[in-house]
Structure 1
Amino acid sequence: MIHSFFHQVYVSDLSAIMTAMLILLIAWSVFGALFYKRMRLIGTIVLIITLVVILYMTVISRGESSAGHGFIPFSSFQRAIEQPEMYRSMLMNIFLFEPLGLALPFVIKGSTAKRILLTIAIGFMFSVAIEALQYFFTLGMAEADDVICNTVGTALGSCAYLLTLLWRKLFSKHRGRRKA
């Protein structure tokens, strides 16, 4: 079922995937503003589901292969110039990690800056761990560019937390005007 969903996303038009990512960001931030007091619990549930899905897609569902590694940063970006299909692969890595960035800031305690920075750092470390597992257990191509794209996905997702704070301010101002 998970594979089927991601296959459908993978074969979708790139602009549709980017639009879906943007809609997810905005919808999550509005949801977060409306249900802010419950977001730690909701974020924890989404985080657990996200971690399971990421591990399933990147490690558990893969069989042993001899795909190798690509440790030179940005080499996929260079190859994408000649092989545009590489853009799809990079975008899917971003898409896969965006929910991690959506959920983590609501689970982490601390200032806004601490939440965002820790979220990005955890996304980076989780991605490095996955690539290490892929490399040591020959579960596909272990690439530095995957770490970059996964970290970008986590960072993009964490932007929803900043939007949530903005929505909360706007909603509270609107509520204040209605009472007056």
Structure 2
Amino acid sequence: MKKGIYPFLFWAMLIFYLFLLIDLLFLSRGEYRSINLIPFETIRSYIRVDDGIRTKSVDVNVWGNVLMFVPAGIYLMIFKERAIKSFIVICGLSLGAEIIQYIFAIGASDIDDLILNSLGGLIGILIYLLLERILKNGHRVRKLITVASALVGVPVLFISILVSIANW
């Protein structure tokens, strides 16, 4: 990208996303340790809950884990531009996060999180590839991703700041 607003927005949104990801994965967790190595067990337990708020539990856990890694897939494609390599990096990052959570007792280490995070990264990779196919130009794809990131990221940044101030 050339000099101007787009590179600034791109890097600002990428850095904000990384800080948000680190916060969600490591800093906003309670001090406990658990591990689940049975695939789909946690997802199945959320689906089986019959307490009147089942949908909210499934939404937060399942969709949160998927959506959290969609930008990672997109950003990795911008830098690596190879889908398989990007997907392997996503899986490695997710596995690394689960291992760190277990070692430092900052949450539940769960194979389902690894599966859902990897799925989110794969969706991000596919979004990038679809945009590249439609726009036929990597520069236009990066520009569109930058604008879309800013449209989503700037309001999230302001809400995060307001929530931090309110909880301070």
In the superposition, the TM-score normalised over structure 2's length comes to 0.66
SS of 2:128's equivalent?
A: helix
**Are the counterparts in 2 of residues 47 and 100 from structure 1 also a CA contact under 8 Å?**
no
Counterpart for residue 46 of structure 2: 80
1:110-125 equivalences under 5 Å are: 115-125=82-92
Partners of 1:40 and 1:152 in 2: how far apart?
A: 28
Does residue 1:70 correspond to 2:36, yes or no?
yes
Report the CA distance between 1:169 and its aligned residue: 3.5
Counterpart for residue 167 of structure 1: 134
Structure 1 vs Structure 2 CA RMSD:
2.5
Does residue 1:96 correspond to 2:68, yes or no?
yes
Instruction: Please point out which of 48, 57, 67 is paired with 2:24.
Output: 57
Counterpart for residue 9 of structure 1: none
Counterpart for residue 107 of structure 2: 140
Task: Output one character per residue of 1:57-81: Cα deviation in whole Å (capped at 9) or x when no partner.
Answer: 1102324224x11111111232133
Q: 1:63 to 1:87 in 2, by over 3 A?
A: closer
Aligned residues: 128
In the superposition, the TM-score normalised over structure 1's length comes to 0.62
Instruction: Flag structure 1 segments of 5+ consecutive residues without an equivalent.
Output: 1-36, 110-114, 171-180
Task: Output one character per residue of 1:80-128: Cα deviation in whole Å (capped at 9) or x when no partner.
Answer: 331244421111100111111121101115xxxxx11122111111111
Partners of 2:8 and 2:115 in 1: how far apart?
A: 29
Partners of 2:12 and 2:78 in 1: how far apart?
A: 11
SS of 2:105's equivalent?
A: coil
Structure 1 counterpart of 2:62, one-letter code: M
**Are the counterparts in 2 of residues 40 and 106 from structure 1 also a CA contact under 8 Å?**
no
